[in-house]
Structure 1
């Protein structure tokens, strides 16, 4: 830039032009650090920092603090020795921590190549440095914020390459940030859907482990101050668990809706079946015609089959509360499944831990659930195969449960319908109501358990059930001894609003050798009981229908009877199990429960208990 000219070491015209600048510091030194020329900017800077007036010819280092004097002395010596330009950032000799300069030491060589002068050019970069510092701090704050939020955040450039990837995104997708930075976003967010811009929506993506998850996302453009797009920000969260919960809520809502219909149907239907079964029994008793007896047997079997359907309806209703007893779970599973597979080309293999032992639950309901699952598995293997059944205990500090898994070798369950197989009336089969697996679902829920379906790694499906230990089961209230020992002729008071039930039950009880009085409601029942209480022939047993439309039902009636006679023996009957009285009858003062529809044999066994 500067040339040697006679005894002058610089081009005066150019130098004077530079020296006029008041914004950048310019100092010309000799090789031995003596001041040759300085501009006004440097003079004002030194005057402001130290109060000294600069004189040409003085030692440059004289105007600097000790530490800066030593710093510049070494750099000037290095520039003189090497002849190379030096560029660095420093506070020059400022007393302010926020004042920074970029400094250039430019050696000027003579014609013989020796460094003769050093030009120091410096300009204030404090604003630029502070802006960079603020930008860095802002980016750090933004980074900390993005790392702390639960949503995944991915930032891409205009080429859709990832430039930022927070910890939540790593956790959701399974990829570390080191694996994704500078890669195309669609290599990480593997989805078949076009990712919409500025529209919050949901889709499915494939994680690093190839598992599919559901995400909710929002994709927006990033623009600079001029309004030009410079990238994209993609904010998303894993909603897989939330969708499962929503599906569960919808499923429960469907079951609640069905329960209103199913409960009423089951109640009325069971009343009719009770009358049908009772009258068939009475007809069988009073006839000796072989052909007629055969027809009555067939009618009875048909009615019992119909009662199985009402049991399924009851399962959907809120009244399907388990009536629990203790039974051996291993024996129960083996017997139920073997019976279900009789005559089929499907085998079964059991892996039941000996520690499973006894279990407390509703044996009839659980039997129905297991049978429905096994039937579904059997139907998935029309050419035959094997069903694998395992059961084991899971004992943890906060949970004690039984885990039952039933697997088959069928084609598995289509992923698109996997979440719907427990829905009421959902079926892929012709001539099927679609109640089997939804009934199983409801039964397990009534036992405070969980049930879910999954596909095997190669083929087949697995239904997994978790059932908690629930403590002691409901047990029948012991029948207290009365003064009437070995009484053959029991005096029984029955209450039911349906005349056909009163007549049928009266006929069966009379055939069992009982004296019967029938009433329609609770008020009439209480009056009759009071009337006979102090007579020579008081009632030995009361049978109360739980629900009396528009009148006093069994629950209120037994409460009133207990106030009259604390030793009253009562049986609650019902065709609909909407009330906890059925499952917890002894807490309400009843001695036993008799579910409708019931057979003559079931009634006989129950009455026999009260003859002694």
Structure 2
């Protein structure tokens, strides 16, 4: 039996409490309805954002909300329930607990209240994409402190940044090689002049009737000079302005010849696979042979006797890019460590011990220089103690390119009349006094009459005086690179205006220079690469007189 109401005051108090409770519940319901409406608006906004958004309990890591972009990017269907799951289970891959890089502790103050937002970048382990993330602790409508995370996909930006860093690194390497190349070109020129003086004096000493033992020593010295010449020729490859002199090139045949030469007698198995190249390709064959040969040689030296090498040539066509030829060389050698892979193209860098070095450390630098001058690039992949893969990319800029032809007919060079008993007249022009002296003495030993000058203007004056006096100069030996004046090409042009019958022979320490390779187009009949021996000098002159 219900207890009767004692009095009206008690009834009034009871009714007032009930009314207040009703108002409180009504306000709570209204607030929840408003929160739900607000959340629906926010949810609609979040679901249409090009960003991943989620809300999680900052204490329990349980998900409260995930937007459509997050579900789509991580492959969750619309029917899958993600709420109440741990954020690290849904967002990351193979995670067994809170992420070691979790930012929750950064987001709240010591008293537990929301702190400042935190911005960071991360590569997600579930889809391997990069995100720019903003995390913020906020008070949820139910008074909980939650983590609100907004993540924008920046993978393409990161890829562009990586490409830019690679580009900067390539530019840095190119500048380094170019600066060394400028120095190397000058050093090689002076070096070859010095070698010319040395070998010239060796040859003169050999003509002095010395005993057989001394002759043997001189022969060894001459061989040493020629070995030094090979080193200087590598330096010349770096020389500024030594661009490729391109001719039609069968890249497949060129690579096959390199393999035959490099792997002959080597106990290394190799495979060679190639595409059909559907267009003409133009390159400087000598330079390209050196570059690819250096890379193959590097692979050979990295392997043991039972090593394996794979070489392939692929023709690649990509949208909005010129077609490319890719030469790939892989080996089972020692590989390259991460610490060293960014330095392998630096001049004189090598990991070979000093007592076991057979090279100068210039091989890969030369390869980089040559391929860059052909408009290409080199990409290297390597795993320490497993092997290395090198990709050489060579663009085919113009499939209908025409080989360089003479713009004007090569001038007719009259053959000088040979009169028995009359010395041939030779003009020697070189700005190096020691070279000038030794070449003059070699020519005199070969029974030529010699006139020497050290400048182009003097050479022109000598020719003019000789013609006015009825004296004929037969041959002009002209140095290509003259300090502070006109070069050998310009000298020959001027003296031929005075006497077109003069035969020009170019002397140079820059034989790989693209302009030097065109010496015949400039009216020269021969080329002497410094340093040259007395026999090379004699053979060149005889060939000109008796051709």
For the criterion TM > 0.5, the same-fold answer is: yes
Q: In the alignment, which residue of structure 1 is the partner of 2:148?
A: 231
Q: In the alignment, which residue of structure 1 is the partner of 2:344?
A: 421
2:300 paired with 1:300: no
CA distance in 1, matches of 2:427, 2:62: 83
Matches within 5 A, 1:424-439: 424-431=347-354, 432=357, 433-439=360-366
Alpha-carbon distance, 1:498 to partner: 0.7
CA distance in 2, matches of 1:328, 1:288: 50
* Contact kept in structure 1, 2:295 and 2:364, CA below 8 Å: yes
Matches within 5 A, 1:214-363: 219-224=133-138, 230-235=147-152, 236=154, 237-238=158-159, 239-287=161-209, 289-324=211-246, 329-351=251-273, 360-363=282-285
CA distance in 2, matches of 1:422, 1:496: 36
Q: In the alignment, which residue of structure 2 is the partner of 1:451?
A: 378
CA distance in 2, matches of 1:206, 1:595: 61
CA distance in 2, matches of 1:186, 1:224: 23
Provide closer, same or farther for how the CA distance between residues 599 and 386 of structure 1 changes in structure 2, counting only shifts above 3 A. farther
Match of 1:518 among 445, 452, 458: 452
Match of 1:504 among 395, 417, 438: 438
Aligned residues: 485
* Contact kept in structure 2, 1:451 and 1:465, CA below 8 Å: yes
Q: In the alignment, which residue of structure 1 is the partner of 2:7?
A: none
Alpha-carbon distance, 1:467 to partner: 3.1
Matches within 5 A, 1:463-478: 463-468=390-395, 471=401
Matches within 5 A, 1:353-392: 360-392=282-314
CA distance in 1, matches of 2:169, 2:126: 22
Q: In the alignment, which residue of structure 2 is the partner of 1:37?
A: none
Provide closer, same or farther for how the CA distance between residues 136 and 467 of structure 1 changes in structure 2, counting only shifts above 3 A. closer
* Contact kept in structure 1, 2:316 and 2:323, CA below 8 Å: yes
Alpha-carbon distance, 1:180 to partner: 13
CA distance in 1, matches of 2:166, 2:520: 39
Secondary structure of 1:610's aligned partner: helix
CA distance in 2, matches of 1:357, 1:304: 40
Alpha-carbon distance, 1:555 to partner: 5.2
CA distance in 1, matches of 2:201, 2:194: 11
CA distance in 1, matches of 2:189, 2:178: 16
* Contact kept in structure 2, 1:220 and 1:234, CA below 8 Å: yes
Alpha-carbon distance, 1:305 to partner: 1.6
Structure 1 or 2: more strand by fraction: 1
Provide closer, same or farther for how the CA distance between residues 166 and 138 of structure 1 changes in structure 2, counting only shifts above 3 A. closer
Higher relative contact order (CA 8 A, sep 6+): 2
Match of 1:484 among 415, 428, 433: 415
Match of 1:549 among 483, 487, 490: 483
Alpha-carbon distance, 1:441 to partner: 1.5
* Structure 1 residues 487-543: Cα deviation after superposition (integer angstroms, max 9, x where no partner): 486543222111121123334445556443221112212212222345544334433
Q: Which deviates further from its counterpart, 261-270 or 601-610? A: 601-610
Secondary structure of 1:384's aligned partner: coil
Q: Could you list the runs of 5+ residues in structure 2 that have no partner in the other structure?
A: 1-13, 107-116
Q: Could you list the runs of 5+ residues in structure 1 that have no partner in the other structure?
A: 1-13, 24-101, 103-121, 147-152
Alpha-carbon distance, 1:424 to partner: 2.4
Matches within 5 A, 1:560-571: 560-561=494-495, 570-571=504-505
* Contact kept in structure 2, 1:263 and 1:319, CA below 8 Å: no
Alpha-carbon distance, 1:199 to partner: 8.8
CA distance in 2, matches of 1:284, 1:207: 78
TM-score, scaled to structure 1: 0.63
Larger Rg belongs to: 1
Q: In the alignment, which residue of structure 1 is the partner of 2:8?
A: none
* Structure 1 residues 363-401: Cα deviation after superposition (integer angstroms, max 9, x where no partner): 443333233222221222224323333335557896455
2:327 paired with 1:410: no
* Structure 1 residues 272-300: Cα deviation after superposition (integer angstroms, max 9, x where no partner): 12222333344445547433333222222
Q: Which deviates further from its counterpart, 372-381 or 533-542? A: 533-542
TM-score, scaled to structure 2: 0.69
CA distance in 2, matches of 1:491, 1:583: 26
Match of 1:529 among 452, 463, 466: 463
* Contact kept in structure 2, 1:498 and 1:520, CA below 8 Å: yes
Q: In the alignment, which residue of structure 1 is the partner of 2:112?
A: none
* Structure 1 residues 538-586: Cα deviation after superposition (integer angstroms, max 9, x where no partner): 3344333233333443355456446656786544443247975335556
Alpha-carbon distance, 1:271 to partner: 1.4
Alpha-carbon distance, 1:254 to partner: 2.0
* Contact kept in structure 2, 1:195 and 1:219, CA below 8 Å: no
Q: In the alignment, which residue of structure 2 is the partner of 1:86?
A: none
* Contact kept in structure 2, 1:155 and 1:165, CA below 8 Å: no
* Contact kept in structure 2, 1:263 and 1:314, CA below 8 Å: yes
2:90 paired with 1:187: no
Provide closer, same or farther for how the CA distance between residues 387 and 447 of structure 1 changes in structure 2, counting only shifts above 3 A. same
* Contact kept in structure 1, 2:122 and 2:133, CA below 8 Å: no
CA distance in 2, matches of 1:273, 1:193: 66
* Contact kept in structure 1, 2:416 and 2:501, CA below 8 Å: no
